[in-house]
Amino acid sequence: MTGGPRTPFWLSPLYALLRLPYNRVRSIRQAPFLAQQKWFRYLLRRGSSTAYGRTVGLAPHLSYADFQKRVPIVSYEELYPCIEQALRGEENILWPGQVRWFAKSSGTTNDRSKFIPITRESLHYTHFRAARDMFATYLVLYRGQTQLLQGKIISIGGSHQISPLGAHARAGDLSAVLLANMPRFYRFFRAPSLEIALLPHWEEKVPRMAQALLRERTSIVGLAGVPTWTVVLFDELLRRTGAAHILEVFPRFEVFFHGAVSFTPYEALFQKYLPAPYIRYMEVYNASEGFFAFQDTSKYKDMLLLTDHGVFYEFIPFASWERGYLEAIPLEEVQVGETYALVITTVGGLWRYLIGDTVRFVQKDPYRLRIVGRTRHYINAFGEEVMVEQAEAAIREACAATGAQIQDFTVAPIYLQAGQRGAHQWLIEFIQLPQDMDQFVTVLDTTLKRLNSDYEAKREGDLALGPPRVVALPLGTFHRWLKNKGRLGGQNKVPRLSNDRTYVEEILALGTGTATKL
């Protein structure tokens, strides 16, 4: 990448546009607690006039200790009666006024669709403010080496439709809700058109997206989306053009903003799609419930926690969570290296809400973190406590050792039976099969032993827990499963780990895979 401003960057007109959002990022690096205290007071003031606030005893000048005593930590299921009232159009339930938008997500904690309230404040202070701050940070970080403002970003949106509970509210994938509410100014910097981006059926959307994007080949400079669905779009573009890689399709492509699933299993695949050293990968933590963090430096892959974006954070030590103790601590008490279940209170009306993610802080000055798993998505069928982070690292090393490339995967236990030891069953869609499947399984197993002492202990002597059993699924199996579940596209994703066999039995029923012989 070449070129840059002729005047010093800090005196250029561009910096005038970036000053406010970038200064906010610098402020939360330097004084994260001031921002958290500000939002804590704002949330109490606004929440005290709601039905939920009156029920639990919210008051504008409540202390944090009293807030902890009065407001229970809740799951989606526990908060749903209030959300259902808001879905019916009732006002002042969880947040002042009427909620007109809901992010619909089946998530990965259960099969029922979740409807997350999206208020005007959560659009403005959380999602759009964080997006502005992220782009400002990127532009400052790579000043003189980026063409981001001279091109367009591909946005892979989901679908949205009138809520079945009334014409007063609309519901859809988070990406679709954001696209539909996006300020007009930002529409000049994205592609394809909203008409195409919001098409409800992916079988129609992907070909039409590819066709539209090929008409703008020289303007595309990046993409923001989920790796899984980006792969589907990239494959369609390569099929249509006969190009060897995406840089032959979009010669100015420079950055991929990715989130929703871990990028670890996709790294090798994207290096083939985008084979150039200047390509940048920026991770974001943007969920239906809020935009919580993004990668703010080229030095680390870890993400900066956004403390000035309409969210008050609390954290439950994961060891306490496993024992059933839902006692949360504020940001200032977290420790580097510990795993926490994330609890949020937001301007969307979520009060001490268990989002279901687990995070681990790698720094406290500033506060940078990694997403390491889900509170309900880890395998502990034999006392092995395998986390998503460990499974993804193991599959990455197995792929690297055997030349394999994967599209997606999920893992579930095979429980102990009379005369049969237990195991972990890995259902994997391979884009490129391993050169040696036995070696693939060995590296998978060895890496998990290295990363997880509990897994290693349970594997000793092959007495209770045998080696992994890999099933190579036909390409498209996960796609068909998601479609059958009504979860195709958008923020939906294949669950990585499950402590029961519900998902894997449904997936196995769709196609014949090839199991390893052990």
Domains detected in the chain: 1-30+77-310 (3.40.50), 388-515 (3.30.300)
Residue 230 and residue 481: Cα distance in Å, rounded? Answer: 18
- Burial call 197-210: b when 16+ CB within 10 Å, e when fewer: bbbeebeebbeebb
10-residue averages of pLDDT along the chain (518 residues): 43 65 94 97 98 97 97 95 94 96 66 82 96 93 88 81 71 84 84 86 86 96 88 91 97 93 81 95 94 92 96 94 88 96 97 94 96 79 82 94 94 74 92 96 95 83 84 92 76 79 90 53
Query: Do 487 and 202 meet the contact criterion of CB atoms below 8 Å apart?
Result: no
Q: What is the reported pTM?
A: 0.80
Going by C-alpha positions, the residue among 226, 201, 223, 196 that lies closest to residue 212 is 196
475 dihedral zone (left: phi>0; alpha: psi -120 to 50; beta): beta
Going by C-alpha positions, the residue among 245, 278, 274 that lies closest to residue 146 is 278
Query: Do 353 and 288 meet the contact criterion of CB atoms below 8 Å apart?
Result: no
**pLDDT for position 515:** 52
Maximum distance among all Cα pairs of the chain, rounded to whole angstroms: 76
* Angle of helix 129-141 versus helix 13-30 axis, rounded to 10: 110
Query: Do 395 and 372 meet the contact criterion of CB atoms below 8 Å apart?
Result: no
Going across the sheet that includes 469-473, the strands are 405-414, 423-432, 469-473, 514-515
Residue 192 and residue 436: Cα distance in Å, rounded? Answer: 41
The residue to which tokens 């229970």 are assigned: 72
Going by C-alpha positions, the residue among 178, 177, 273, 194 that lies closest to residue 232 is 273
Residue 396 and residue 263: Cα distance in Å, rounded? Answer: 10
Query: Do 515 and 471 meet the contact criterion of CB atoms below 8 Å apart?
Result: yes
The residue to which tokens 């006024």 are assigned: 97
Going by C-alpha positions, the residue among 89, 2, 470, 495 that lies closest to residue 260 is 495
Distances (CA, A) of 286 to 232, 280, 289, 290, 306: 21, 18, 8, 6, 11
DSSP E strand stretches across 150-279: 152-155, 160-162, 170-172, 190-191, 220-225, 255-258
Going by C-alpha positions, the residue among 507, 494, 506 that lies closest to residue 260 is 494
208: amino acid identity, one letter: R
Query: Do 312 and 33 meet the contact criterion of CB atoms below 8 Å apart?
Result: no
Residue 54 and residue 398: Cα distance in Å, rounded? Answer: 54
